Chain A
Amino acid sequence: MSSILNIESVSKAFASKAALQDVSLEIEKGTVFGLLGPNGAGKTTLIRIINRITAPDSGSVFFDGRPLSGDDIRKIGYLPEERGLYRKMKVGEQAVYLAMLKGMPRKDARRALAEWFERFEIISWWDKKIEELSKGMAQKIQFVTTVVHKPQLLILDEPFSGFDPINTQLIKNEILNLNKEGITIVFSTHNMSSVEEICQDIALINNSKLVLTGEVNEVRKKYKENIFELEYTGDAEAMDTLKNGNLSIVERNVMSDGSQKIRIKAKEETSLNQLLSAAIPKVEVHAAREILPSMNEVFINVVSEHNNPSNNSNDE
């Protein structure tokens, strides 16, 4: 697969304060890419550079293999975190205006918008003013205006904030549908569970530097702490004898049917097979799996490690 976006050693500073330092990224066509990082890390600056709102001080951005140009802007849809619409303007008129600014002819814009409005069952809002709508309703309209010009790349900054669970689900499904149609999605969020759910690749930016990038599961494996979950029946004490210095039980639960569920942490690199071969002779194993760290844990871990390199607990 080829990449839709190639960011090559991009740097940007405001006055003397660095917002991005030598960031390089590659985003594959057709993926859902998570752009993560704490507040103020430089995510928004990077997104603005991709959108050509600001230009990098050095480095370059390639869109679909060619240097990013003004014409590419119509192939990008952007939903900023801080979002809003003209409050006094009518919904339909405003959506047409924004679509035309993206380069759509008026007729096409009206037709495409009508389709989206039908799909979201909001066609009756066409002649209402934004100020007459609730925040959630306005968000829906904003989402439509972001995608109506059929972008190849969709950049969504915290797309779910402000939505109730039902609409969150609706928007999430729409995003995944668009992705199925081949649209690449860059997704910036603090909500790590949604990252695990929908992103294939991630990049983590902290303090203006790219600190981590890769496929979600690879990243989680990279930061695994050799914790295993084991369900078994048998002598409750039997597993203790496994603790030959390498293993320690970090959590133990007795289930209602009398079986045990424990979490074991290995001090050294251990495979599930190795653990099972030690356990099977002693107890009857019902289930066993390796527990990978959640993206949330990875995030906290990496960021705090990056901020305080001295308490280095994980080897890179």
Chain B
Amino acid sequence: MNKTWLVIQREYLTRVRKKSFIIMTVLGPILIAGGIALITWLSLQESTYQKILVIDDMQPIFDNLEDGNSFEFDYSSMEIEEAKKIFPNSEYTSLLWIQSNIDATNKALLYFKSQPSKMVLRSIEKKVEFVVENMKLKKFGIEREDYNKVRTDFTIIPYKYSDEGKEEKVLTEKAYVGFFFGILIYLFIFLYGVQVMRGVIEEKTNRIVEVVVTSIKPFQLMMGKIIGIALVGLTQFLIWVVLMVVFVTAAQSLIMSKKMDKVAAQAAVVENITQSNPGFPGSAIDMESAVNPKMDITSEDHLINRINWPLMIGMFLFYFLGGYLLYSALFAAIGAAVDNDTDTQQFMMPVTIPLLIAYFLSFMMVDNPESPAAFWGSIIPLTSPITMMIRIAMGIENSQIWELILSMVLLVGGFVFTTWLAAKIYRVGILMYGKKVNYKELWKWLKYGD
């Protein structure tokens, strides 16, 4: 144990003292914050001002469309074929073709030079829709006033009714918080798992491993490396959290009122990240809500108060470590089986695929958190470290506690198993040079004696 501790120390200190570690640790939060800001800014930018030429086959109905903020209409009596010919060299950026059967098809074609954003396109649709509606109203002899009376925008608001009789509006926001933590675990498993693999390959190609294993058991060496690197990851994570809090509080005190306390600042980060990222469905609509009363953390409805944070943070650490231990053991085995980085490809596949599945599963779970796929994904240890985060964020009911416990037990069992498996491959692999290894060979190694 004493010697494992020596290995842990070495792995930790050599990594933490590296320039690249210090730079990444300081720049990481800045880069992430900057990246998010950049994406938000870019998504808010309207691409180009659209000058749209309307070709109206139903003349003269579409001759008075309302211009928008970033687009204007112009009209021509040209045939579409003719218009298409002049279009490339014209000043127009788009060509809107209204066919004569528009009231039947409810469709029009837009030819563009540079693609209008979804928001602009929707805005254009609204303008055309208004005219088409007018056409239909006239046709059926209905007044717009009457039409507005009948017209209904219907919504169902889903409320979660828990076993304890608590009701709560189901909002995907909570799932996004879990998603954020899940992605964090995903990234750490990848980043640090690969570091374990690299470390093993380094020791193997350096040939130092043969000297080291005379003083220490291969298993101790492997575990020392895995634990040492886990500590590096936790250190980096801790520094990031501290830096983030510092940055955000600084930014908040600049922008917002002084009242905001630290917790709220953190929450705002989480919320902003989940809301402003255009990769998440529905983010565009949430943009306006950035300044709405939801920001008031005293409200019981505020996101911050609807998540069980002690459970969330505790489980995050548990699944973070469990997932890391499970995968890094596999990464260590890969490192031991190959002679250099380029040979890792064939063995990386089966390890990366479950991680990717977990990643896509969590996307799906944001929309459908109680599907069977979500259940199995959060129970199976290969995917649970990432997907379980979403379920925890959304709240675990008493009747579901057994699922959480089962998932945790399986994860512990999972990493014990992968560590056992990896140790068998590792102790043979590290001393095997210049041999192309395949799965059949690995299978043989599992059966070797000590």
Contacts and interface: CB of A to CB of B under 8 A. Distances in A.
Interface secondary structure of A, over-half rule: loop
A89 B450 CA distance: 31
A100 interface: yes
Pick the most buried of A89, A98, A101: most chain B CB atoms within 10 A of its CB: A101
A1 interface: no
B6 A55 contact: no
B211 A15 contact: no
Contacts of B191: none
Interface in B1-27: 3, 6-7, 10, 14
A48 B431 contact: yes
A103 B6 CA distance: 11
A53 B432 CA distance: 13
Contact of A85 (B205, B208, B449): B208
Given A76-B214, A80-B207, A101-B216, A57 B449 contact: yes
Interface string B408-450: 0000000000000000000000010100000000001001111
B45 interface: no
Contact of A87 (B206, B213, B431): B206
Nearest to B3: A101
Interface string A70-84: 000110101010111
A172 interface: no
Contact of A83 (B202, B211, B216): B211
Nearest to B450: A55
B66 interface: no
B199 to A, nearest CB: 10
Given A76-B214, A78-B214, A88 B14 contact: yes
B240 to A, nearest CB: 24
Contacts of B7: 101
B14 A84 contact: no
A102 interface: yes
A97 B14 CA distance: 12
A190 interface: no
B214 A89 contact: no
B448 A15 contact: yes
Contact of B208 (A57, A86, A100): A86
B211 A98 contact: yes
Pick the most buried of A53, A74, A98, A145: most chain B CB atoms within 10 A of its CB: A53
Contacts, number: 65
Contacts of B431: 48, 53-54
B433 to A, nearest CB: 7
B206 A84 contact: yes
B212 interface: yes
Contacts of B213: 53
B10 to A, nearest CB: 6
B448 A101 contact: no
A51 interface: yes
B449 A55 contact: yes
B89 interface: no
Contacts of B207: 80, 82-84
B450 A85 contact: no
A110 interface: no
B172 to A, nearest CB: 46
Interface in B203-236: 203, 205-208, 210-216
Interface in A1-39: 14-15
Nearest to A57: B449
A101 B433 contact: no
A261 interface: no
Contacts of B211: 78, 80, 83, 98, 142, 145-146
Interface of A: 14-15, 48, 51-55, 57, 73-74, 76, 78, 80, 82-89, 97-98, 100-103, 142, 145-146
26 contacts: A14-B448, A15-B448, A48-B431, A53-B210, A53-B213, A53-B214, A53-B431, A54-B431, A55-B449, A55-B450, A57-B449, A76-B214, A78-B210, A78-B214, A83-B207, A83-B211, A84-B205, A85-B208, A88-B14, A89-B14, A97-B6, A97-B10, A98-B211, A98-B215, A101-B7, A142-B211
